[in-house]
């Protein structure tokens, strides 16, 4: 199997660290809103990856996080304040709804599903290692990653400093923090302040009370469950910088082992009404709303008809077509007449999936096979891809 590796910007033969086991980490949700189609595209893309790796005979150890606490003031903590709800309660309610929506889409639950708030000790452990190795510094109870200590910082994104600053600003990185040696230095631990609002929590550490940095959380949760080096790290393309770039520097700085990740995989963005689907734009298409009108199979067909790396515009008429297409397939497959297993079709299936998970080509293969009467192959292949039959 060949996978596109964002680090080298080309397809590479997939060779796991362990011959029989694949370790996978995918960045999860910040639980203060409802599951939208962009979430579904990312997490079902990795659902397909997990299913196909298992089909190939690998054991998959898959970790995904829930960012229920971080160093930011404007996301979950602000939403909880606006709703007059404890942040933990908001996180629990939102996470439960997300999991319900994803289960309706026949999503495989990760091996490890971790809350950042329950991983504080791991975060502190790796921050201490960064301090000991000289890659971090402490100021007034806060701890920062010194990116100038990493000569390869930027190797994933390949951005110049001007572009890094522009993107970091959009992510509400604390660029104007006077305690930083470099504006782009990563906040690993944010110290509590005497005038901190009551709705903002703090956690005990050897640096003093504070909160873990968003970027550091993923490094810690990945390494504490999967080891210091992993096979595949995934997420949306918008996380490539600063989040994934920071993860590389933090993780490699803490352990001294390179590479932290062998294969970086990023999913494309979904657009709606001409703009990227996002909370800030107010143009979310909710999974729960779509499931009131369409089947889970139709949603999976729509999403997999787009390659995971593709950015695309959601149009409901395309989902209508997906519903009709799958209904016809299901009717064909439900016929009682038998058909022999076709080894040639299975080889074509493998060729498509081995080519960086070419799901559009795979779905076309299945559709054509069903229409030509190869019903056993079509049904079994759809089941392998997680369709409900």
Span 93-145, pLDDT tens digits: 999 999 999 999 999 999 999 999 999 999 999 999 999 999 999 999 999 99
Instruction: Say whether both 322 and 180 belong to one domain.
Output: no
Q: Which of 270, 291, 325 represents a domain boundary (last residue)?
A: 270
Structural domain including 321 reads 315-384
Q: Which of 270, 287, 304 represents a domain boundary (last residue)?
A: 270
Instruction: Say whether both 252 and 165 belong to one domain.
Output: yes
Is residue 241 included in any domain, yes or no?
A: yes
**Secondary structure of residue 236 in the 3-state scheme:** strand
Is residue 6 included in any domain, yes or no?
A: no
Considering its fold, how many domains does the chain have in total? 2
Is residue 210 included in any domain, yes or no?
A: yes
Supply the pTM of this predicted model. 0.96
Instruction: Say whether both 213 and 340 belong to one domain.
Output: no
204, two tokens: 């005990």
Q: Which of 250, 270, 290 represents a domain boundary (last residue)?
A: 270
Instruction: Say whether both 200 and 336 belong to one domain.
Output: no
Per-residue pLDDT of the chain (389 residues), as tens digits, is 999 999 999 999 999 999 999 999 999 999 998 899 999 999 999 999 999 999 999 999 999 999 999 999 989 999 999 999 999 999 999 999 999 999 999 999 999 999 999 999 999 999 999 999 999 999 999 999 999 999 999 999 999 999 999 999 999 999 999 999 999 999 999 999 999 999 999 999 999 999 999 999 999 999 999 999 999 999 999 999 999 999 999 999 999 999 999 999 999 999 999 999 887 778 899 999 999 999 999 999 999 999 999 999 999 999 999 999 999 999 999 886 666 778 999 999 999 999 999 999 999 999 999 999 999 999 999 999 999 99
Q: Look up the CATH number of the domain holding residue 336.
A: 1.20.120
Instruction: Say whether both 97 and 187 belong to one domain.
Output: yes
Span 224-251, pLDDT tens digits: 999 999 999 999 999 999 999 999 999 9
Q: Look up the CATH number of the domain holding residue 100.
A: 3.40.50.620
Is residue 3 included in any domain, yes or no?
A: no
Is residue 291 included in any domain, yes or no?
A: no
- Give CA torsion, residues 173, 176, 181, 184, to 10 deg: 30
Instruction: Say whether both 161 and 259 belong to one domain.
Output: yes
166, two tokens: 């522009």
Is residue 2 included in any domain, yes or no?
A: no
Instruction: Say whether both 261 and 351 belong to one domain.
Output: no
Mean pLDDT of the chain: 96
Instruction: Say whether both 186 and 331 belong to one domain.
Output: no
Q: Which residue intervals of the chain are DSSP H helices?
A: 37-55, 76-82, 87-104, 120-132, 161-170, 214-226, 245-255, 287-290, 296-304, 316-333, 343-354, 359-371, 375-384
Contact call for residues 6 and 265 (beta carbons, < 8 A): yes
Instruction: Say whether both 328 and 250 belong to one domain.
Output: no
**Secondary structure of residue 305 in the 3-state scheme:** coil
Instruction: Say whether both 230 and 155 belong to one domain.
Output: yes
Is residue 356 included in any domain, yes or no?
A: yes
Instruction: Say whether both 216 and 148 belong to one domain.
Output: yes
Is residue 228 included in any domain, yes or no?
A: yes
Instruction: Say whether both 247 and 363 belong to one domain.
Output: no
The per-residue DSSP string of 98-134 comes to: HHHHHHHTTPPPPSEEEEGGG-HHHHHHHHHHHHHTT
Contact call for residues 142 and 179 (beta carbons, < 8 A): yes
């Amino acid at each position: 199997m060949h996978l596109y590796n964002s680090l080298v910007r080309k397809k590479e033969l997939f060779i796991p660290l362990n011959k029989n086991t694949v370790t996978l980490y995918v960045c999860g949700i910040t639980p203060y809103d409802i599951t939208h189609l962009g979430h579904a595209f990312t997490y079902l893309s990795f659902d397909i990856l997990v299913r196909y790796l298992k089909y190939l005979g690998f054991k998959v150890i898959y970790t995904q996080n829930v960012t229920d606490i971080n160093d930011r003031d404007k996301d979950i903590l602000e939403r909880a304040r606006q709703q007059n709800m404890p942040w933990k309660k908001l996180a629990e309610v939102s996470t439960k709804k997300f999991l319900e929506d994803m289960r309706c889409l026949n999503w495989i639950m990760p091996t490890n599903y971790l809350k950042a708030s329950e991983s504080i000790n791991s975060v502190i452990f790796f921050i201490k290692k960064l301090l000991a190795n000289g890659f971090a510094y402490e100021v007034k109870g806060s701890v920062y990653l010194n990116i100038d200590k990493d000569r390869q910082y930027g190797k994933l994104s390949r951005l110049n400093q001007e572009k890094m600053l522009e993107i970091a600003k959009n992510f509400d990185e604390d660029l104007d923090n006077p305690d930083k040696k470099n504006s782009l230095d990563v906040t690993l631990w944010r110290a509590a302040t005497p005038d901190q609002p009551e709705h903002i929590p703090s956690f005990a550490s050897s640096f003093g009370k504070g909160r873990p940095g968003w970027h550091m959380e993923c490094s810690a949760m990945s390494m504490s469950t999967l080891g210091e080096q992993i096979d595949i790290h995934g997420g949306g393309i918008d996380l490539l910088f600063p989040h994934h770039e920071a993860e590389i520097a933090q993780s490699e700085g803490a352990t001294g082992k390179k590479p932290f990740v062998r294969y970086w995989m990023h999913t494309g963005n979904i657009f709606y009404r001409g703009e990227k689907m996002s909370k800030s734009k107010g143009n979310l298409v909710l999974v729960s709303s779509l499931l009131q009108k369409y089947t889970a199979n139709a949603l999976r067909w729509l999403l997999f008809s787009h390659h995971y790396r593709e950015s695309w515009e959601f149009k409901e008429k395309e989902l209508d077509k997906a519903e009709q297409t799958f209904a016809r397939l299901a009717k064909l497959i439900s016929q009682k007449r038998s058909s022999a297993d076709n080894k040639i079709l299975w080889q074509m299936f493998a060729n498509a999936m081995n080519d960086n998970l070419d799901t559009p080509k795979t779905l076309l293969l299945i559709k054509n096979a069903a229409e030509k009467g190869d019903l056993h192959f079509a049904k079994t292949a759809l089941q392998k891809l997680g369709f409900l039959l």
